[in-house]
Structure formats: C-alpha cells, structure tokens
Structure 1
Amino acid sequence: MKLLLTLFTLSQLAAISFYNFIPQEEEVKVPAVLKKYIPAGFEALNVTKGDLNRDAYSDVILVLKKKGEEKTSDVIDHPEKRPLLIFLGQADKSYKLAAKSNNSVYCVDCGGMMGDPFTGITIKNGYFSVEHYGGSAQRWTRIVTFKYAPAEKNWFLYKNGSERFYATEPDKAKTEIQTVKDFGKVPFEKFDIYKEN
C-alpha cells in the first residue's frame, strides 16, 4: 500500500512539474491611450517602450496579431499579417501614431518547426530592431534594424542581418548582413520582410 501511495504521489508531482514547464501565454499590457488603435479581431502581441526619435519623450512600438491566427494563417497561401505601429510620445503624455507596417513582422507559422518566429523588439537611441528565430534541424535568425532620420522624420532600413546554422553545429553559423550599400534607401513603411531585398 505504501508503495502504491508513493507511486501515486510521484506521478502527481511529475504532472505538476510538467505543467509548470508548459509556457503560459502572458497578457500583454497595453497603455490605455493606445487601446483605441487595436482594431476589432486583433490583440497585442508585443509592446516595447524606448527612444525612437531622440527626443525627451518615451515612445512605443505596438505589434498586433489577429485573434486565432494560429488556425487561419498559412505561410504559403495566406500568412496572417501582424501590424507594427510606431507611436511617438508627446509633451502631454499622449501618443501620436507616426508609422505603420503590415510587412515587418513574420506570421505565426513562418518559423517552421520552431513555431512562432517573432522573439521581440529592441529599441535604442533612434534605432529599433525586429527579431526572429526559426527553423528545424537547420535554424535561422533574422534581425531587421531601422534608423530614425531627423530630417525626414521617418525610419529607414539600416541593417538586415541573418544567421543560418544546424542545431547540432551552432558554432558553424553562416552570417549575412546587408546594409544601405546593398538595398539603398528603404523607408520603414515600404519594407517587406516577405520579399528578398
């Protein structure tokens, strides 16, 4: 009887431990003043704050996703687009929508066997990067960086970097970095991550 009780207790603990390792989707906290910019049928995927235009006010990048996108997106025929919105902080603590793109964040199933490839946004001193990671036996990363141009009051493609490597040989990664010399002057809103630049 003691053996059965011990086995039962161990199996319960194993089940609890396994559950704790299942990634739980956290709710993304969206500033109240930005909620009006989320269209019906969409929700926030990511909110990142930082300095996007080198002024005294904190700015925000909001990435959206379609509700239930994992069921409706098809990477080949119909990828569900994920809008990326840039908001500039104002003196009165409000935000102004400065730019928007539907083609700067990969779709939910664009990562292959690794699942959703979007890993986040990084903002620093007028630059921001959209970061992805995906693949299966052969893994890949893609980090696309944009830079603010004060004269045009806009962001332009600055760097398009990628790495490819086999999961068993991560130290043998092949890196490719494209710069303005390769792709010319590309405004943020004209960039299309789904096309080769």
Structure 2
Amino acid sequence: MKTILPLLLSFVFQLSASAQNNGKVVHLQQKNKLKEQLSRFLDKDQVLLDFKTGDLNNDGKPDVILIGTTETDNEKNRKVYLLICVGKDSFKVTATNSNIIGCAVCGGAGAGDPYRKIVLSKGGFSFVQLYGASDKTETTIAFKYNPKRKSWFLSKNNMRSYSSRPEENPGNEIKVVQTESRKGDYGKLKFEDYR
C-alpha cells in the first residue's frame, strides 16, 4: 500500500471523525495510528488497501477516499468509501461502491492486482487499474462533483490498450489505442450506482 501519511497530516491535525451513518467515532489524534483509525470506517471483514485526502466536494475542507479489501477472499471486489468532512473535526461516509476496483487477482496473469492508484482533481477523483499479461488494458474511471445535485457523477471512462509483444510493435514502438466508453452516462451515472 502506498503511504500518503504526510499528505493527510498536512490537511488534518488532531482530527476526530464520525461516520454518522453507522455511529462509529474515530479520533485521528495519534499520527502513528492513522491507518488503524481510518480502518474503523471499513466494513468488519475488510482491511485498508489505500486512501487519499483532498477536497472532494469543493467546500474547502479535507475529505478522504478509502479503499477496503478482504485478506481472505482474493476474488472479491474492493469497496470504495467517500468520507466527507461535515463540520469541524467530523466526517461521514456519504457514498460507497463495490463495483469499481477489481479483486486482488482480477488483473490477469501479467498484472495480478489491477489496482494502481487514486488520482484527485478539483472536485473529483479517478481510479487507475491495469489488466492483462502481454496484451494490457489500463482503465481510468473518473467522477466529478455536481454541487446542485450534491453528488459525484461519472465524468470519464477511458481505456488505453497496448501489446508488449515485439511482433505487434515493429521498430520497438508500442502502439497504444485509447477508447472511451459509457459516454451516454457522463454526468448522469452516480458514483454509488456505477457497475
């Protein structure tokens, strides 16, 4: 798991978090136990795979994206949690999705675990994954916050495909094919409804 502890600590010092939808209270005052404390937002059978902080809804407050995974079931998709800062020192889980991040072995023989990273943008976020062995496909699924509808909607669904086989890349120049899908869903499909 990539450690972004310094980034989070630059946003949040001596913070307490409350997941209001399930009554959990997490005190983020001990810097050395931050990952453990964030894990309390996850479902009981999950562990923290990755997290990233930033302003997800353009309100000037630090929010958190968590990705939970299971240690025992490598074939189960990961769950993404959006934790939004709702007031001084408190968060709530406002949306979740278990259909975006593939399982630990879903990337295929070459890639293995497809998950690569979370990328933040102004009022939005995306997830990058890699699938395949010799023939690879990198996906980027992005969501943008709509302040009028107070939710995140699909804004991009890109795929970059290429082959690492020499016979398919004469002159050692890798040909990359980029495609977009689900354009009709852009601005309409909510984060929690993505499948």
Q: In the alignment, which residue of structure 2 is the partner of 1:101?
A: 97
Identity of aligned residues (%): 27
Partner of 1:188 in structure 2?
A: 191
Equivalent residue number for residue 163 of structure 1:
160
Runs of 4+ with >3 A deviation: 25-29
- The alpha-carbon deviation at position 31 of structure 1 amounts to 6.7
Q: How far, CA to CA, are the matches of 2:63 and 2:36 in structure 1?
A: 11
Please identify the structure whose Cα radius of gyration is greater: 1
CA shift, 1:127, in A, is 1.2
CA distance in 2, matches of 1:163, 1:175: 4
Question: Amino acid of the residue matched to residue 175 of structure 1?
Answer: Q
Matches within 5 A, 1:3-14: none
Give the 5 Å matches for 1:107-118.
107-113=103-109, 114-118=111-115
The reply to whether residue 152 of structure 1 matches residue 156 of structure 2 is no
CA-based RMSD: 2.0
Task: Pick the aligned partner of 2:78 from 77, 82, 88.
Answer: 82
The residue aligned with 1:177 is: 180
Q: CA deviation at 1:92?
A: 1.4
Match of 1:62 in 2: 66
Q: Structure 2: state its 5+ residue gaps.
A: 5-33
1: distance between equivalents of 2:3 and 2:72?
A: 15
Q: Give 1:50's match in structure 2, choosing from 50, 54, 59.
A: 54
Cα contact 1:156–1:186 (8 A) shared by 2: yes
Number of equivalent positions:
158
Correspondence for 2:20 = none
- Matched residues in 1 for 2:44 and 2:182: separation? 37
SS state of the match for residue 86, structure 1?
Answer: strand
